[in-house]
Amino acid sequence: MGFGQVWTEHPHTEAVCYVRVDPDCTGQGIATALLERGARRAEQLAARAEAGARVALLATSWPNDRSAARLLERAGFAPLRYFLLMTIDLNERPEPAHRAADVEVRALDESSDLRPVYEAQTAIFRDHWGEAQPDFEEWLHEYSGFDPTLWFVAEDAAGIAGFALCLPEFAEDKDAGYVGELGVRPDRRGAGLGLALLLQTFSAFAARGKQRVSLHVDAENLTGALRLYTRAGMRAEPRIVVWERELTFVA
């Protein structure tokens, strides 16, 4: 009839609660019971956090689930972050974008690029919302079974200048490819490298017969990502809301 999962992130100072109920079983209090069970479990997990840490429980909702917002508000959650789904239709293969002559964009070399890409990703996203980064093995596990021909790196004399890490298809749309992560080193931003990487992914997915390419972006992204995706021809749709409920302060 329903299920819930809880796990901790960011050295146990955030717990995530994932609850889903069979549509034929809604209105019976199942989601509320699972959320409360999840909150209790999260408080147990929060005991592992450092003394005095603020501990929050996070949950997500989608626009098509119109009852989720009311349910989460009643359960003590408040909206925290909003994510957009950006999508472009691949009516024809895109033209390559111009980029600096000293930058090479190529497919990942799995034998030598994985750790440098991880290190570049960690450096680029280190300050994004204050999130702690997973270690190398955890990061690689998140991409278990990835297709290296859909991971693209931009390289200059200083190393990895940017990357686009893609998945063969978007879970919600089998006709769409998905860009999981796109990042550009701060000193190379503003020169078209992000657009070049993005168009590279469009071209790769078009060659595979995909009809669309999608990605998610934080609506409050401060690095110009939203402007970049719009410039590339992608359209935005409200998609995911992250909700937060403060649990406790660990004594």
pLDDT tens-digit readout, 202-221? 999 999 999 999 999 888 76
Same fold across 2-76 and 86-238: yes
62 in Cβ contact with 18 (< 8 Å): no
Give 134: exposed, middle or buried? Use CB within 10 Å, 0-12, 13-18, 19+: middle
Higher pLDDT, residue 146 or 62: 146
Residue type, 97: A
pLDDT tens-digit readout, 14-48? 788 999 999 899 889 999 999 999 988 888 877 66
Give the CATH number of domain 86-238; options: 3.40.630.30, 2.60.40.10, 3.90.1170.50, 2.40.420.20: 3.40.630.30
Residue type, 221: N
Q: Where does residue 45 fall: left (phi above 0), alpha (psi -120 to 50 degrees), or beta otherwise?
A: alpha
Task: Give me the residue spans of the domains in the chain.
Answer: 2-76, 86-238
pLDDT tens-digit readout, 82-105? 888 999 999 876 676 677 788 999
Give the CATH number of domain 2-76; options: 3.40.50.12280, 3.40.50.1820, 3.50.50.60, 3.40.630.30: 3.40.630.30
Q: What is the pLDDT of residue 250?
A: 47
